[in-house]
Amino acid sequence: MSKYSISQFIQSTKQKDLGQGFFELETERILEVNLNGLVWAKMGSMISYEGNIKFEREGILEHGLGRLLKKTFTGEGSQLMKANGNGKLYLADQGKKITIVDLAGDSIYINGNDLLAFEDGLHWDIKLMRRIAGVLSGGLFNVHLEGNGLVAFTSHYEPLTLMVYPGQPIYTDPNATVAWSGNLQPEFVTDIQLKTLVGRGSGESLQMKFSGNGFVVVQPYEEVYFSDKNS
C-alpha–C-alpha distance, residues 111 and 16, integer Å: 30
- Give burial (CB, 10 Å; 0-12/13-18/19+) of 82: middle
Please tell me the pTM assigned to this model. Answer: 0.84
Q: Tell me, yes or no, whether 5 lies in a domain.
A: no
Residues 46-59: pLDDT tens digits? 999 999 999 998 65
Report pLDDT for 27. 95
- Residues with Cβ < 8 Å from 198, sequence gap 6 or more? 204
| Mean pLDDT of all residues belonging to the chain | 83
Q: Tell me, yes or no, whether 7 lies in a domain.
A: no
Q: Give the mean model confidence (pLDDT) for residues 27-50.
A: 96
Q: Tell me, yes or no, whether 9 lies in a domain.
A: no
Residue 88 near residue 124, CB atoms below 8 Å: no
Number of domains in the chain: 1
Q: Tell me, yes or no, whether 231 lies in a domain.
A: no
Q: Tell me, yes or no, whether 224 lies in a domain.
A: no
Q: Please, which pLDDT band fits residue 210 given cuts at 50, 70 and 90?
A: very high
- Give burial (CB, 10 Å; 0-12/13-18/19+) of 197: exposed
For the CA atoms of the chain, what is the radius of gyration? 19
Q: Tell me, yes or no, whether 161 lies in a domain.
A: yes
Report pLDDT for 175. 87
C-alpha–C-alpha distance, residues 230 and 227, integer Å: 9
* CATH code: domain of residue 94: 3.60.160.10
Q: Tell me, yes or no, whether 8 lies in a domain.
A: no
Q: Tell me, yes or no, whether 186 lies in a domain.
A: yes
Q: Which of 59-63, 79-83, 155-159, 188-192 has the highest mean pLDDT?
A: 155-159
Report pLDDT for 68. 45
- Identify the domain containing residue 209 by its residue range: 18-218
